[in-house]
Amino acid sequence: MRVIIVGAGQAGLQVALSLRQGGFAGDIALVGDEGRLPYQRPPLSKAYLKEGFGFDRLLFRPESFFAENSIELRLDDAAVWIDRDRRHVHVASGDTLAYDRLVLATGARNRALPIDGATLPNVLMLRGAADAERLRAAMETARRLVVIGGGFIGLEVAASARARGLAVTVLEAGTRLMARVVSPAASAFFLDAHRAMGSEVLLEQKVLRIAGPTKAEAVETAEGRHPADLVLVAAGVAPNDGLARDAGLAVDGGIEVDGFMTTSDPSIFAIGDCAVFESRHASAPVRLESVQNAVDQAKCVAARILGQDVPYDSVPWFWSDQGTFKLQIAGITAGADHVHAVGSPEDGRFVAYCFRGDRLLGIETINRPGEHMAGRKLLASDFHLARADVARDDFDFRAHVARLVAT
């Protein structure tokens, strides 16, 4: 059997690793559009910007590992179309790769802003290593950074830039920070935290243009003008589902998959940032952008290829490091109609229990890793947490979960 994996990021690499660890003896080819060995992306907006270490520290495995494990690497050779009838993948170099099973781990791409000035040379985005290298080099001489977008990436870069001494302005179009993924209580915590770091954070900002004849000099909004010698556009991402759509696979806000990560073609799987699936932790089909999701879905697909029918049912979890604050989320808290939150930036610690009705959707914690792990354990179980419990002054969540699990 020959497995072709399109996408050489964490999800794609994990499929290859899990197949070999599971005893798969067939051919594996890992196809990537970057000319780099598979590497970690999360540090790009955090430690890689602040600490100045070399790219090699981000690599998952050295080049020798792939030869030793008979994993064919086809880097800087993007897949361009899929011939499903012949089970062929055509790549940019002109080669044709035959497959018995195909895994699409194509990830996501940054959303561009359709405004004047978005292509000026000191207007950057951050998705891959090359982007991070350009951003890190630009920070060496920049004095004022304007970040367009108050999501994870924008805020992580803002915190990294402040740690390097840059003046930072964050412009968010919505009414609160990270609104797509966290509760209003967590949004308020980070608004206060970033302002305490010294960043200017402005909400409900409609960006009109980036001004400057040859390089960005300011970002103009409906409310004012914000000087900048470096601009980061962090306006969200869109799934890379074009290859699947062109091949006639079912696509709706991402590549649609079932509980085994199988697409509408039984010989093709999709995983990670590009895949849309149903989850008992979400009220509608969901597409998740997280390391946990990428790794666990990859393991699910590898098991399926190895003949083990174990559906994907992992508890979603996420994290974001912003300055001295580590945000960790267990579950999917979007859609909560009741949030019980405790903590503040001054305390340096925070936990929010997010409910819809009487059902616990998830738990958001800041600098409380024990509560985060307890939350993941609780959400993976059949036990329930009552709203009345978390409202008690003497409530100890970790002890409560330990008692439930022990019964």
How many Å from the N-terminal Cα to the C-terminal Cα in the chain?
A: 46
Domain 335-406, CATH: 3.30.390.30
So where are the chain's domains?
Answer: 2-109+237-305, 112-233, 335-406
CATH level 3 topology of 2-109+237-305: FAD/NAD(P)-binding domain (3.50.50)
Please calculate the CA angle 67-69-74 and round it to the nearest 5 degrees.
50
Interval 350-385: pLDDT, tens: 999 999 999 999 999 999 999 999 999 999 998 888
CATH level 3 topology of 112-233: FAD/NAD(P)-binding domain (3.50.50)
Split at pLDDT 50, 70, 90, the class of 220 is: very high
144 SS3 class: strand
Say how far apart CA 189 and CA 293 lie, in whole Å. 26
Find tokens 């895994």 and name the residue.
103
Say how far apart CA 309 and CA 171 lie, in whole Å. 46
Identical fold between 112-233 and 335-406: no
Determine what percent of the chain is predicted with pLDDT higher than 70. Answer: 100
Please state, as a whole number, how many other Cβ atoms lie within 10 Å of the Cβ of residue 378. 22
Arithmetic mean of pLDDT over the chain: 95
Non-local CB neighbours of 117 within 8 Å, separated by 6+ positions: 123, 209, 210, 211, 212, 216
Interval 80-109: pLDDT, tens: 999 999 999 999 999 999 999 999 999 999
For residue 140, the surrounding DSSP H or E stretch is none
Interval 128-181: pLDDT, tens: 999 999 999 999 999 999 999 999 999 999 999 999 999 999 999 999 999 999
